[in-house]
Structure 1
Amino acid sequence: WFQEYCCIAIDEACAFLPYDLISTCEMPDVLKSLDTIQGDLYVGVDIGRRKDLTVIWCLERLENSKYTRYVKVLEKTPFHIQYQVISKILKHPKMRRCCIDSTGIGMQLAETAQKDFGKYRVEPVMFTNKSKEEMAYNLRTNFEDKSVFIPNEHDIREDLHSIRRIATKAGNIRFDADTSEVNGHADRFWALALALIACSVPYSQIEIATRKRYETLKMTEGF
């Protein structure tokens, strides 16, 4: 029906993020060195399972907008090397919060990062149908509001476009990649989704309360 009467390709009609929506948030030269970051930094890490692909997505928040500053793709990289790359980013002075895919093989890496950097800065996220649905809709809302900006790159565009909203026979909803468009499970989509979830919780400095200093009264004072 879409294809015959609306002149919309079936593939495009089924896409959770149409190309037209993606293009409105693409920005040339948005990437830059992390050393130049001045705003708060939020990170999403998706641990690949099918193609041994891990994607690290870094967003700089400036007022109400989020700008993609760094995207790192690690393919067939040993876990200890992956953690070295991730931990270097987590040590950034402007890093406020990181959400890491803790599903399957990502569990140990996420737990180690939380142990090393603290539970307020690192949150392991278990991928379930419910959590993926929440992340996917939050991502799309950011695109519709034009509050997130991404690089104008083919691989990123195709990953974002590959996600489909699928109704199961049991009546449940799941989000998965169209494997005819991308290999794997749209790693860049989920890394960005995780970074946006990291942004969704306001950051506040942890304040340490100290007791007032007690003054010793001289028993003989006034006599």
Structure 2
Amino acid sequence: MVDGFDRHAAITRSMLGWGMVAGPFYLSFGLIQALTRDGFDLGRHALSLLTLGTGGWLQIANFLLTGLMVVVAGWGIRRAVASRGRAASTAVLVAGFAIGLAGVFRPDPVDGFPAGTVPGSSLSGVLHLAFGTIEFVAFAVAGLLLARFFTVRGEMLRAGLCRGAGLVIVIAFAAGAALSAGQAGIALLWLAVVFSFGWLFTVSLWVYRTVPHPDNAGQDQL
């Protein structure tokens, strides 16, 4: 702290802010592409398929930038929470790295997208699925683990919401992956994505408010 300004708190709050940006950024950027790419159908195709074909580099950049934001948010959570929340922050870090790597390895073409391609199986497609699985499992685990942090603080509602979000994420992803050939599966995958980023947004905000304002160190913002 220098002259009443808490630099550690300022940096931590800034890092947590990226957890609130990551989801809206990823979804907005992805939806803009989905609505402007020929042959892409939100009811039949996952956003990750936008990494394929002409303009695919835009969605790859979306994955990489979003993954970086999640990593920064995870480190912000680590700086802010007590020891009982450190395992959860590690899970968020893992999710961030997995998002980035899922963008590096492109999925296989599915259901006529990109136009003129034939569905198949490749090492890149397998790795994309593997890192996607790690991402959702890590988010789910983070939700379940961070519930302990809120329980210790006596915030039982927030703890319950973290547990609930974790369960929804892992169940929706598992069911969506199993049914991915149909519209129901795509809808469930969308649910997993939205809940993952919605949980990250909410938790980043909650933890942000536990960090004292850098100009007024020691005052709890809750």
TM-score by length of 1: 0.28
TM-score where L is the length of structure 2: 0.28
Which has the larger helix fraction? 2
